[in-house]
């Protein structure tokens, strides 16, 4: 897989700097500076948006402060239910001093479902939602790319987890 390591430093949120491996043919989108919405418990500040060369696949990263109570799996279940995402095959993900839950998701769309390879990581009090997704009809063809991108994500500074997994 021909990839390049992309460093992201969000304007005004430099503490949320991160990196990931982007396939050479994928395009990144500029994300305008945004304010974090403290009133919305489902709001994730967008950090990364990338699309496949044909637009059929997408990769996104969002971040928010960790919730004051609960576990990572409880947060995942609550957020997935809110976004109508069916969660399958959750498994422990560990790399470089961080840990999270890697899972497959299915989200109904208008006329077609989206399949996902997602990762939720809590590191140093920040919850990251990393998502690789494609239409169901296209997912199998790009699943290796989505998995590679999702599992390549790293915060700029890894502090370690502060909440229990389950």
Q: How confident is the model at residue 66 (pLDDT cuts 50, 70, 90)?
A: very high
Q: What is the pLDDT of residue 38?
A: 84
Task: Examine the pLDDT at 58 and tell me if it is beyond 80.
Answer: yes
15 pLDDT higher than 80: yes
Token pair recorded at residue 120: 């939720």
- As a whole-number percent, the residues of the chain with pLDDT over 70 amount to 99
Distance of CA 161 to the CA centre of its chain: 16
Please name the residues in contact with 33: beta carbons below 8 A apart, sequence gap of 6 or more: 10, 11, 12
Q: Whole-prediction pTM value? A: 0.96
pLDDT at 1 over 80: no
Average pLDDT score over the chain? 95
The CA-based diameter of the chain, rounded to the nearest angstrom, is: 42
DSSP label at residue 55: S
pLDDT score, position 145: 95
Cα separation values, 44 from 4, 50, 95, 140, Å: 25, 16, 23, 27
The architecture of the domain spanning 3-30+41-155 is 3-Layer(aba) Sandwich (3.40)
pLDDT of 110 > 80? The answer is: yes
Task: Give domain limits for the chain.
Answer: 3-30+41-155
Region 6-21: mean pLDDT is: 95
Measured distance CA(117)–CA(133) in Å, rounded:
6
pLDDT at 33 > cutoff 90:
no
């Amino acid at each position: 897989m021909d990839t390049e390591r992309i460093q992201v430093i969000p304007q005004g949120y430099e503490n949320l700097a991160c990196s990931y491996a982007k396939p050479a043919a994928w395009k990144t989108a500029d994300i305008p500076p945004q304010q974090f919405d403290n009133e919305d418990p489902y709001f994730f500040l967008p950090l990364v948006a990338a699309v496949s060369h044909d637009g059929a696949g997408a990769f996104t990263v969002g971040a928010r402060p960790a919730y004051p109570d609960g576990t990572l799996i409880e947060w995942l279940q609550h957020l997935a239910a809110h976004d109508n995402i069916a969660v399958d095959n959750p498994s422990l993900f560990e790399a470089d001093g961080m840990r999270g839950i890697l899972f497959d998701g299915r989200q109904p769309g208008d006329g077609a479902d989206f399949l996902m390879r997602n990762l939720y990581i809590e590191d140093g009090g920040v919850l990251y939602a990393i998502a690789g997704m494609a239409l169901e009809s296209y997912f199998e063809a790009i699943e290796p790319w989505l998995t590679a991108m999702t599992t390549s994500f790293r915060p700029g500074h890894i502090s370690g987890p502060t909440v229990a997994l389950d």
